[in-house]
Amino acid sequence: MKLFPAIDIKNGQCVRLRQGSFRDVLVYSDVPYKVAKEWETNGASYIHVVDLDGALAGHSVNEEAIKNIVSNVSIPIQLGGGIRSIKDIENILSLGISRVIIGTKAAVDPGFMKEVISLFGPERIIAGIDAKDGIVAVEGWERLSGYNAVNLALEMKNMGVETIVYTDIAKDGMLQGPNVQYTLEMVEATGLNIIASGGISSLKDLELLNESKVYGAIIGKALYESKIDLKQAIEMFEK
């Protein structure tokens, strides 16, 4: 199981939201690239970055902070948040980002995924499915779409998607454990590389996800609050 330490960027700062609410923000660092360097030093093999302002605005907002992260670490980075066109993808990849996560656009226009996977390849394009009680949320989690998360994942599979970041919004930033049941359902129903996100608070949580045969797990607040030691977790689950 691959571990992805998370860096969420808002107003150029490294922050965490609770349950995806832009009204409940905690700032952890004014210098996101220093956080990225710390995760790299602790053995991270990949970093997960989200442009929160971008997710809400529908276009890249924190490009300067993203560039600084790319130029200060040598490990690959996946980025999500406001990427909704071919031009956006080209721009993000040109910054040195290894792969992009398409969320809202994937939910509202699944055919777009087929097009971009044929252009860039499934190794550069990930679908981001953010859900609450199994229902997909879009536009920076501000609106529920009515789509069933597993059904959307199966549709993504038909479009050529191989990897999905699956976030349980109700769990995100709460440190109350991930939604293992929904995640397991996603793994079993799709057979895709599922990266679990939301609520991971302990090594025990990672153990449960590992047993669910997920491809990877994104760890955010638990690292910032020292609930999980990244180096130890990598030794246990990645190596």
Whole-number pLDDT of residue 142: 61
Residue 20 reports pLDDT greater than 80: no
Query: Please, which residues bridge with residue 17 across strands?
Result: 25
Whole-number pLDDT of residue 174: 64
Whole-number pLDDT of residue 53: 93
Whole-number pLDDT of residue 60: 86
**Considering the entire predicted model, what is its pTM?**
0.94
Both tokens assigned to 12? 């150029």
Average pLDDT in the 58-75 region?
Answer: 95
Pairing, β 77-80 against β 47-51:
parallel
pLDDT level of residue 100 (50, 70, 90 thresholds)? very high
pLDDT level of residue 86 (50, 70, 90 thresholds)? very high
Query: Please, which residues bridge with residue 125 across strands?
Result: 100
Whole-number pLDDT of residue 58: 85
Whole-number pLDDT of residue 141: 57
Average pLDDT in the 203-229 region?
Answer: 96
pLDDT in tens, 158-179: 999 999 999 988 666 667 788 8
CATH architecture under which domain 2-237 falls: Alpha-Beta Barrel (3.20)
pLDDT in tens, 111-140: 999 999 999 999 999 999 988 888 898 765
Domain residue spans in the chain? 2-237
Distance linking the first and last C-alpha atoms of the chain: 9
Q: What is the per-residue DSSP string for 126-194? A: EEEEEEETTEEEETTTTEEEEEEHHHHHHHHHHTT--EEEEEETTTTTS-S---HHHHHHHHHHH-SEE
Whole-number pLDDT of residue 133: 81
> Which residues, including other chains, have CB under 8 Å from residue 72's CB and lie 6 or more apart?
33, 34, 36, 37
Whole-number pLDDT of residue 147: 84
**Residues with catalytic function:** 8, 130
Nearest CA to 8 among 58, 59, 47? 47
Residue 38 reports pLDDT greater than 60: yes
